[in-house]
Amino acid sequence: MRCQYCNCTESKVIDSRPTEEGSSIRRRRECIGCGRRFTTYEKIEMVPLMVIKRDGRREAFDPQKIKTGIIHASNQLPVSMQDIDSITTRIEQAAYASMESEIPTQKIGDMVMAELKALNDVAYVRFAAVYRKFTDLGTFMDELQKLVNENKNLTT
């Protein structure tokens, strides 16, 4: 680390602690050349994750879009913001943990559907209606019937 006062490249770390939000490390350093102290921050460099859209376009991964979709699906349902934030965080972590530089929207959508299915059936169906692009009542009813059958199997 180069000293901001004398440009010396030698320094020693005097104190090191995480920042309040825990996303970086704050380090107090002392320059070996001039003896002055300065602060540096160390942060994890995130590898950009790209999302492959259905039409083949690529765009940067944006967890806010996942959160917005879940909020719309769970509108006026007993789903807390804490639940929504937790789901969004789990999906974001899973996407980055996949170790892929590109992830298809289908995989992200499937993760959202699995989370919503465990959380709230109505939110799940609402999300599925948009995500799977139900074009007619028949496909919508097929999805509802699958859900009803799964719930029957769980209760018996």
| Residue 36 lies in domain | 11-43
Co-location of 67 and 119 in the same domain? yes
* pTM, 2 dp: 0.64
83 found inside a domain: yes
DSSP state of 17: E
Count of domains forming the chain? 2
Helix (H, G, I), strand (E, B) or coil at 45: coil
49: which residues sit within 8 A by CB, 6+ positions away?
A: 60, 61, 95, 96, 100, 101, 102, 103
Predicted confidence pLDDT, tens digits, the chain (156 residues):
899 999 999 999 999 999 877 778 999 999 999 999 999 999 877 778 999 998 999 999 999 999 999 999 999 999 999 999 999 999 999 998 888 899 999 999 999 999 999 999 899 888 988 887 776 777 778 877 887 887 777 766
Co-location of 24 and 82 in the same domain? no
1 found inside a domain: no
Strand order in the sheet with 102-104: 58-60, 50-52, 102-104
Co-location of 68 and 123 in the same domain? yes
Co-location of 84 and 28 in the same domain? no
Co-location of 132 and 102 in the same domain? yes
Please report which helix (H) or strand (E) contains residue 143, including its range.
Answer: helix 137-155
Give pLDDT, residue 123: 93
Whole-angstrom distance, CA of residue 117 vs CA of residue 115: 5
Co-location of 17 and 37 in the same domain? yes
Give pLDDT, residue 44: 77
Co-location of 37 and 97 in the same domain? no
